């Protein structure tokens, strides 16, 4: 009985924190950059990628033309300067529904919360959403 209660508590805690694992597939944890820059992985230290980023009014972005189709990529770091989130904004001709279909074929069925399409493998969360008529995606280290 104690193990059942512990399991139920764990499930409730997980849901209360907003972490709902919905895929058994592993979500990518990197950003593929234009040549010759390679990739940037979640959890990379800011000091390792400083030549690729710029500070815009206290927020960090990948420099223009570092990444393919995204309009901008904002990078969020934790207190230890480890990359925890990448927020991609897209141009108006980006087909959000087509992208969701393509990611669904790679990552499985998403779940939907607060207007966001979400995949979560327990370690990484990937979201696609629209805010103020602007399309975004986020890659989040959990």
Q: Which CATH number does the domain housing residue 46 bear? A: 3.30.200
* pLDDT above 90 for 66: no
**Residues 73/90, Cβ–Cβ less than 8 Å:** no
pLDDT of residue 15: 41
Indicate whether 16 belongs to any domain: no
Provide the number of structural domains found in the chain: 1
Spatial CA neighbour of 6 closest among 93, 14, 87: 14
Indicate whether 5 belongs to any domain: no
Indicate whether 88 belongs to any domain: yes
Domain region containing 89: 21-141
Its pTM surpasses 0.85: no
At 140, is the pLDDT very low, low, confident or very high (cuts 50, 70, 90)?
Answer: very high
Spatial CA neighbour of 73 closest among 15, 17, 33, 132: 33
Choose between 40 and 14: higher pLDDT: 40
Indicate whether 2 belongs to any domain: no
At 19, is the pLDDT very low, low, confident or very high (cuts 50, 70, 90)?
Answer: low
């Amino acid at each position: 009985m104690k193990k059942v209660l512990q399991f139920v508590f764990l499930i409730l805690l997980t849901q209360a924190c907003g972490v709902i694992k919905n895929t058994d597939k592993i979500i990518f944890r990197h950003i593929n950059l234009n040549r010759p820059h390679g990739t940037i992985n979640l959890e990379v230290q800011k000091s390792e990628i400083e030549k690729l980023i710029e500070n815009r009014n206290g927020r960090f972005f990948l420099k223009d033309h570092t990444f393919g189709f995204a309009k901008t990529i904002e990078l969020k770091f934790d207190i230890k300067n480890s990359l925890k989130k990448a927020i991609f904004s897209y141009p108006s001709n980006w087909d959000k529904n087509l992208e969701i279909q393509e990611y669904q074929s790679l990552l499985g069925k998403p779940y939907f919360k607060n207007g966001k399409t979400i995949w979560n493998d327990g370690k990484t969360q990937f979201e696609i959403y629209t805010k103020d008529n602007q399309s975004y995606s986020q890659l989040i280290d959990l």
